[in-house]
């Protein structure tokens, strides 16, 4: 069988940066061709970044993407790379882009994959299955394609597919079997979730078997707002063998020699696409097939075969930690910030944020602000100082009592209003530092306390990004211990003071306050939250699973009431099925309660 040396470019594009993303394609394609690659592949929507959301509706953006793909083809050719086909995801359209694809399906935007060759777009495929659940809204944005595109490269037939095409039954993989391809490319912008890597690999295997062909699965890497694309690209044979696998959470150029059958000779004529139904999508079995000839069989490659390797797999904690580091780093850098600042209380949450920030940006770009009040314990100040000493981050101290007292001189506040005042004064201090000096403010509330509304709106929720937004409290502790163990393993000083991990958590907004005054034990709380929030289970399911009914009622009521606060909080890296960002949409005004009618 002939050999195809394929390059899977697991790279990190930025949304909207057509120029920068084109540059990544050019330099990476150059490196791949220098290594002898005969086909170079880039992720879904490589040119525009992903997801571009409502930018799709701006005609000037769509036009810019279409112009940029043509320019990229020309530039690759001018740079001497024109003979190597390069597959690049981008935003395209049939005819002039429609303002609203929902009302004019014939002319709407397309999630497209181009094969660039000899200075032009030699083939283009439009994504067929459009995901419209969780974080995805693609029925809003794109018109589905109805034709599988098969390109013949070095005499080998290669089917093109994009992301969701693999997650739904029917469609392109069925058509690929019918077309008798030797290889299916699937390019992705597939966001990280804990344990999703296992699901994905099983699915790649299943589709490879269905198509009767090797599948080359390429995923993007990097952070984009709340999403982290985790890479983890893989090549799997029709028999399910993993030939090579790229690392998680890191950029990587995988180059691998694939032995693949030659396509039938001569290439059969294109089958016409089936007629388009009046509205909506069509089933996969009716997909047409379009064949494009790129290049004839190629002489055998010289030298020893190149193997793409098997990157080591990360443990669950390592995977989450690296996702949080990558998500924060890219949010900061891609938004044009250099530094971050946040309240460093010496508690577990802000300490873990500090460690993540130092890993993401280096200690010189991390400002921890200790803002003690008269309710702050001595160990809070000490633990914050110890954290700074261990990591080298910049520590500042602002006592908040004078500002708190200045409000109390004109307003009579008590209870929750007084507790919140302290958190809000801290928010004002952090935003003043941000406005005066430029760092991005991080907020540090974990998913458990955000879920039940245990935070102060415009207080500790102040900030542009929250690394722990999707991390339950019990996982915060696990991550802290894992990070410290990792440091010991590599001979470094553990970054997080032991006392920050072991002391009972407290908001320190009134004397002697503990989280357990207001909240259940975090083990119990997180177990209920996992079912109720991530799993969409109802009260009855939770009770049936063995949780105490009164506790369930209490937690569920808190969660239902906390929705508004969560909406107002900063974006944060998503690591679970249901974070509190774009993939969760609930009405604010809503009187339905799991636990019965709301009280007056």
Numbered residues of the known binding site: 133, 190, 196, 343-350, 420, 444, 449, 565
Tell me, what DSSP letter sits at residue 53? G
Give the residue carrying structure tokens 């890296």: 573
Q: Name the strand (E) or helix (H) holding 217.
A: strand 214-219
Euclidean distance between CA atoms 81 and 62, whole angstroms: 26
* CA geometry: angle 565, 387, 376, nearest 5 deg: 55
Two tokens at 46? 């490589």
Which residue lies nearer to a copy of itself by CB, 337 or 522? 337
Give the nearest distance from C-beta 369 to a copy of itself in angstroms.
Answer: 11
Give the nearest distance from C-beta 495 to a copy of itself in angstroms.
Answer: 27
Give the nearest distance from C-beta 19 to a copy of itself in angstroms.
Answer: 6
**3-class SS at 555?**
helix
Give the nearest distance from C-beta 25 to a copy of itself in angstroms.
Answer: 16
Are 48 and 21 contacting, i.e. CB atoms less than 8 angstroms apart? yes
Give the residue carrying structure tokens 């994905």: 200
Among residues 138, 163, 210, 319, the one annotated as catalytic is 163
Distances (CA, A) of 86 to 123, 179, 216, 297, 454: 10, 22, 14, 17, 51
Of 447, 224, 391, 444, the residue nearest 323 (C-alpha): 224
Task: List, as residue ranges, the binding site for L-glutamine.
Answer: 133, 190, 196
Task: List, as residue ranges, the binding site for deamido-NAD(+).
Answer: 420, 449, 565
Burial of 328 (0-12, 13-18, 19+ CB in 10 A): buried
Strands 394-397, 440-441: parallel, antiparallel or unpaired by DSSP?
unpaired
Active site includes 163? yes
| Greatest C-alpha distance within the chain | 89
Task: List, as residue ranges, the binding site for ATP.
Answer: 343-350, 444
Active site includes 127? yes
Give the nearest distance from C-beta 212 to a copy of itself in angstroms.
Answer: 21
Give the nearest distance from C-beta 136 to a copy of itself in angstroms.
Answer: 9
Cis ω on the peptide bond leading into residue 284 (within 30° of 0)? no
| Torsion angle (degrees, nearest 10) of CA 439, 443, 444, 445 | 180
Euclidean distance between CA atoms 477 and 277, whole angstroms: 54
Among residues 127, 339, 473, 578, the one annotated as catalytic is 127
Give the nearest distance from C-beta 411 to a copy of itself in angstroms.
Answer: 6
Euclidean distance between CA atoms 570 and 581, whole angstroms: 9
Burial of 416 (0-12, 13-18, 19+ CB in 10 A): exposed
Q: What is 249-294 written as a DSSP string?
A: SS-EEEEEEEE-PPPPSSPPPPPPPPPPPSSS---GGG-EEEEEE-
Active-site positions?
A: 44, 127, 163
């Amino acid at each position: 069988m002939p050999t195809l040396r394929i390059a899977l470019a697991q790279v990190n594009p930025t949304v909207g940066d057509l120029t920068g993303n084109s540059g990544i394609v050019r330099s990476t394609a150059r490196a791949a061709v220098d290594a002898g690659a005969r086909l170079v592949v880039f992720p879904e929507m490589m040119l525009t970044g992903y997801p571009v959301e409502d930018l799709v509706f701006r005609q000037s953006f769509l036009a810019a993407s279409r112009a940029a793909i043509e320019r990229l083809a020309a530039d690759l050719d001018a740079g001497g790379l024109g003979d190597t086909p390069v597959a690049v995801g981008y935003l395209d359209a049939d005819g002039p882009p429609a303002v609203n694809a929902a009302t004019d399906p014939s002319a709407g935007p397309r999630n497209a994959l181009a094969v660039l060759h000899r200075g032009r777009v030699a083939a283009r495929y439009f994504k067929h299955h459009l995901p419209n659940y969780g974080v995805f809204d693609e029925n809003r944005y794109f018109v589905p394609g109805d034709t599988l595109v098969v390109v013949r490269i070095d005499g080998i037939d290669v089917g093109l597919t994009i992301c969701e095409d693999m997650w739904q039954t029917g469609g392109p993989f069925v058509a690929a079997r019918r077309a008798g391809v030797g290889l299916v490319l699937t390019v992705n912008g597939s966001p990280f979730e804990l344990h999703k890597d296992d699901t994905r690999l099983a699915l790649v295997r299943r589709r490879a078997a269905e198509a009767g062909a090797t599948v080359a699965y390429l995923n993007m890497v990097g952070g984009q707002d709340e999403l982290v694309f985790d890479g983890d690209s893989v090549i799997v044979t029709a028999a399910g063998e993993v030939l090579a696998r790229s690392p998680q959470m890191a950029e990587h150029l995988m180059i691998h020699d694939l032995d693949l059958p030659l396509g039938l000779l001569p290439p059969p004529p294109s089958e016409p696409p089936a007629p388009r139904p009046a509205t909506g999508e069509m089933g996969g079995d009716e997909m047409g097939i379009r064949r494009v000839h790129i290049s004839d069989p190629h002489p055998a490659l010289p030298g020893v075969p190149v193997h793409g390797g098997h990157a080591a797999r990360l443990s669950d904690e390592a995977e989450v930690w690296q996702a949080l580091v990558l998500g924060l780093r890219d949010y900061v850098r891609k938004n044009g910030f250099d530094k971050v600042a946040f309240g460093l209380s010496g508690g577990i949450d802000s300490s873990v944020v500090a460690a993540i920030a130092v890993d993401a940006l280096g200690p010189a770009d991390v400002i921890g602000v200790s803002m003690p009040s008269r309710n702050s314990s001595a160990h809070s100040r000490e633990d914050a100082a110890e954290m700074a000493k261990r990591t080298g981050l910049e520590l500042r101290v602002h006592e908040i009592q004078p500002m708190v007292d200045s409000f109390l001189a004109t307003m009579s506040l008590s209870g929750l209003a007084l507790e919140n005042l302290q958190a809000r004064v801290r928010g004002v201090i952090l935003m003043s530092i941000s406005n005066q000096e430029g760092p991005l403010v991080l907020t540090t509330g974990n998913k458990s306390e955000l879920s039940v509304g245990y935070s102060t709106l415009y207080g500790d929720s102040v900030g542009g990004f929250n690394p722990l937004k999707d991390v339950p409290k019990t996982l915060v502790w696990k991550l802290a211990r894992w990070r410290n163990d990792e440091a010991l393993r590599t001979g470094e000083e553990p970054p997080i003071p032991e006392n920050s991990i072991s002391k009972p958590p407290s908001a320190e907004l009134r004397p002697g306050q503990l989280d357990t005054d207001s909240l259940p034990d975090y083990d119990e709380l997180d177990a209920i939250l996992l079912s109720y929030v991530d799993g969409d289970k109802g009260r009855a399911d939770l009770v049936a699973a063995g949780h105490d009914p009164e506790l369930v009622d209490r937690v569920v009521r808190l969660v239902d009431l906390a929705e508004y606060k969560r909406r107002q909080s900063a974006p944060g890296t998503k690591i679970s099925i249901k974070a509190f960002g774009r993939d969760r949409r609930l009405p604010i005004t809503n009187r339905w309660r799991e636990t019965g009618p709301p009280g007056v």
